[in-house]
Amino acid sequence: MTPVAPLDRSMEAAYRALVDGKAKPLGALGRIEDLAVRLALIARRPHPRLDRALLLVFAGDHGLNEAGVSAYPSAVTAAMVATLLAGRASANAFARVVGAEVRVVDAGVAADLAPHRLLIEAKVRKGARNAATGPALTAQEVDLALARGAAIAREALQDFDILAVGEMGIGNSASAALVLHRLAPAPLDDCIGLGAGHDPEGFARKQAVLHQAAARGPVSTPREVLAQFGGLEIVMMAGAILGAAAAGKPVLVDGFIASVAALAAIRLGPACADYCIFAHRSAEKGHAIAVAAAGAEPLLDLSMRLGEGTGALLALPAARAAAALLTDVASLDDVLAGTL
């Protein structure tokens, strides 16, 4: 994969001065001002544009679900992919509101999906293996998923200004908890949340299965962790984040699963942290650990935990507003001189 170049910060002071000189009190727009500066650095120009936005929803299944880590069967993944392709999922509704396009990436759905104009076929295999009993993926499958994700992002971003990433995969909060446990690192129980929902008995079963998986070995390097515990949608999403960063484009990162994928991408290529905009603070347990490990602070806090990229889409207007601060707002000097 193309290496990710760190941001050239030689113009940071100049871009900060532009923001400070706008017709507003100094610092009055808070973190939107910081985001405006970062978007200018990413774009390498003082007037970034985020008009064309694309959401990629990465879909995959998990062998862990055979052990009962989710309240829903794996067949729901394919059913929700069909819903997304029909334009009837929450992500589709939000995308229409904010003016973004949606594509679904079949990274590893455990079913044969019919061709569709909004479906990107990138299946590595039909679902990850059961990580409770052995490695979820081979090293070759991890490398292939990373490479395909990066290639999808690079190609897509020839036509778009900003990429949002989300996911669909029954059982993927279990996989993400294991990946986060090793990459943060953090105690496993602090990383395990309710996911799509569990009664107390189901949640206890999920915890027991994940402890069984974690006990298989002490791997800690990013690729080893992804091979042992990762889902194909998580790995491919990490590859897409690396690919977008290498292409010099910003990435809106959705909630818990997407943030764990972003953390994996950052562990593989630390410079891509500069390009990641963490959209919202998920209500899923473990998300605060993921964003802290990535050295980030989410833009929004709406107590959401759906996935699908819904939180990333809701943060898109905030990112566009940050860009508009540089492109559309008058300078205080112009206001005072009456030269508008």
Catalytically active residues are 308
How far apart, in whole angstroms, are the C-alpha atoms of residue 209 and residue 226?
A: 17
Looking up tokens 């279990």 gives: 174
Provide φ and ψ at 187, rounded to 5°: -55, 140
Q: Are strands 100-108 and 53-60 parallel, antiparallel or unpaired?
A: parallel
Q: Tokens standing for 9? A: 């910060």
The β-bridge partners of 22 are 331
Of 217, 156, 235, give the one whose Cα is nearest residue 181: 217
Q: Are strands 251-253 and 276-278 parallel, antiparallel or unpaired?
A: parallel
Say if residues 179 and 210 touch (Cβ distance below 8 Å). Answer: no
Q: Is 295 helix (H, G, I), strand (E, B) or coil?
A: coil
In one-letter notation, the amino acid at residue 334 is D
How far apart, in whole angstroms, are the C-alpha atoms of residue 151 and residue 139?
A: 18
